[in-house]
Amino acid sequence: MTISRPSGRAADELRPITIERNYTAHAEGSVLISCGQTKVLCTASVETRIPHFLKGQGQGWITAEYGMLPRSTGTRMGREAARGKQSGRTQEIQRLIGRSLRAAVDLTQLGEHSITLDCDVIQADGGTRTASITGAYVALNDAINHMLNKKMISKSPIARQIASVSVGIYQGMPVLDLDYPEDSTAHTDMNVIMDMNGAFIEVQGTAEGAPFTAQEMTDMLALADKGIKELIQYQTQALAS
């Protein structure tokens, strides 16, 4: 069976990926990641303080916040700061980003520092949460290198490289890296975060209509594995440049 993706991509084909480091001047890590038309600015901010619940345990913390600029989307969304609260979706996404990046790091090696990853969507075309995670990993690395250079820590606490991609069932077929036209009509949408060895950090799959079968799950996970391996390479190249 052959499907035609709106973008003309093959079922297992990522969108064009670019990762631009040092995008802004002030943050210890600052990365603009583009996955096709989706663009997210990921900054990493190092602070010499830790949350209350970690006081005296000699370890660090990593957390994340996520936002969309009001006109990153096709129709303007209300500004969360003006509405006075973050939506459930926003909180869910930033909790996911934070958990994922904490899994990349040995927090006991971070000292009593915290790193905040701010992922702000400049332009949205599907897959903003997975792009955020993939980009934030690079920003986190730059922040860690900054800390090593400043002798804030003596060895890198990075425990594993991670990246994230979405997969789904579009028109009955498993596809990799859904863009907005696919995402908004897909029957199933799954976000996968893996490390460089193909082990799982997190899997979140949701049937948006008919349930999905065990075979479809297997197929989607295989696509995710392929896509994440490629994203890991993009990250590695960006960090080497």
9 is in an annotated binding site: no
The helix (run of H) or strand (run of E) holding residue 184 is none
User: For a copy of itself, which is the closer residue by CB, 10 or 49?
Assistant: 49
Hey, what are 53's tokens?
């619940």
CB of 143 closer than 8 Å to CB of 157: no
User: For a copy of itself, which is the closer residue by CB, 123 or 156?
Assistant: 123
- State the residue for tokens 């792009």: 131
Using CB under 8 A as the binding rule, the residues of this chain from 20 to 49 that contact a copy of itself are 24-27, 30, 37, 39, 41, 43, 45, 47
Q: x/- contact string, 44-83, with a copy of itself (CB under 8 A)? A: -x-x-----------------x-x-xxxxxxxx--xxxx-
CA-to-CA distance for 115 and 82, rounded, in angstroms? 26
- Of the candidates 22, 48, 57, 91, which one interacts with a copy of itself according to CB under 8 A? 91
The site that binds a copy of itself (CB under 8 A) totals a number of residues, namely: 66
Q: x/- contact string, 133-152, with a copy of itself (CB under 8 A)? A: --------------------
CA-to-CA distance for 84 and 108, rounded, in angstroms? 35
Phi, psi of 62 (to 5 degrees): -130, 130
User: For a copy of itself, which is the closer residue by CB, 5 or 102?
Assistant: 102
Identify the CA nearest to 240 among candidates 149, 138, 163: 138
Which residues lie below 8 Å from residue 11, measured CB to CB, with a gap of 6+?
Answer: 3, 5, 173, 174, 175, 176, 223
Binding site for a copy of itself (CB under 8 A): 24-27, 30, 37, 39, 41, 43, 45, 47, 65, 67, 69-76, 79-82, 84-86, 88-92, 94-95, 99, 103, 116, 118, 120, 122-124, 160, 190, 194-195, 197-207, 209-214, 217, 221
